Amino acid sequence: MSARVYVLNGPNLGRLGTRQVDVYGATSYADLVTLCVRTGRELGLDVVVRQTDAEHELVGWLHEAADEGAAVVLNPAAWSHYSIAVRDACAMLRAPLVEVHISNIHAREEFRRHSVVSAVATGVICGLGFDGYRLALHHLAARPGAEPAGG
């Protein structure tokens, strides 16, 4: 049985490929999903990718991951900067949490430079585009206790 990893994405990320291509690039959200699932399969991870524009839905998915003891790759998007509900749900996780941002939030507008989620994350990757997701999955697969497919 392979280790489950949730790749969760917050508001507006479903618009990748058409939204602010100068910041986020022209690659679509569907391409991101394909990248994450393919990378997970190569690493022996059971990757579930989800995106929502509804904060309560993301909080529910984080609760699900906490209950399962599953690791999470999270791009909280705008909720990074102010959602205590998302931060508190992240704090309930029992497995690693890697916070990912496509853009470098520290080189953007002042209000984007702080994430309330980072303090409860195992690690943070920002500014590496979609490659940040791939790197997060590689990190999770290499952690002690990550069970390979068929293991």
Residue 148 lies in a domain: no
Question: What's residue 19's pLDDT?
Answer: 66
CA distances from 72 to 20, 56, 65, 104, 106 (A): 26, 17, 7, 20, 22
Question: What's residue 49's pLDDT?
Answer: 98
Rounded percentage of the chain residues whose pLDDT exceeds 70: 87
Residue 147 lies in a domain: no
Residue 7 lies in a domain: yes
Residue 126 lies in a domain: yes
- Catalytic positions are 24, 101
Residue 106 lies in a domain: yes
Q: Where does the pLDDT of residue 1 fall: very low under 50, low under 70, confident under 90, or very high at 90 and above?
A: low
Question: What's residue 126's pLDDT?
Answer: 96
23 compared with 15, residue with greater pLDDT: 15
Range of the domain at 104: 3-142
Residue numbers belonging to the annotated binding site for substrate: 75, 81, 88, 102-103, 112
Instruction: Say how far residue 86 (Cα) sits from the centre of its chain.
Output: 12
Residue numbers belonging to the annotated binding site: 75, 81, 88, 102-103, 112
Residue 74 lies in a domain: yes
Question: What's residue 112's pLDDT?
Answer: 74
Which of 65-69, 125-129, 142-146 has the least mean pLDDT? 142-146
Indicate yes or no: pTM above 0.75.
yes
Query: Quick one: CA torsion of 48, 52, 56, 60, rounded to 10 degrees?
Result: 0
Residue 150 lies in a domain: no
Q: How far apart are CA 41 and CA 55, in angstroms?
A: 28
Q: How many domains does the chain have?
A: 1
The two three-digit tokens of residue 142, written as one number: 């290499």
CATH of the domain at 70: 3.40.50.9100
Question: What's residue 143's pLDDT?
Answer: 84
Question: What's residue 23's pLDDT?
Answer: 61
Q: Where does the pLDDT of residue 148 fall: very low under 50, low under 70, confident under 90, or very high at 90 and above?
A: very low
CB atoms within 10 A of CB 11: 17
pLDDT, tens digit (0-9, with 9 covering 90-100), for 16-53? 766 666 666 667 899 999 999 999 999 999 999 999 99
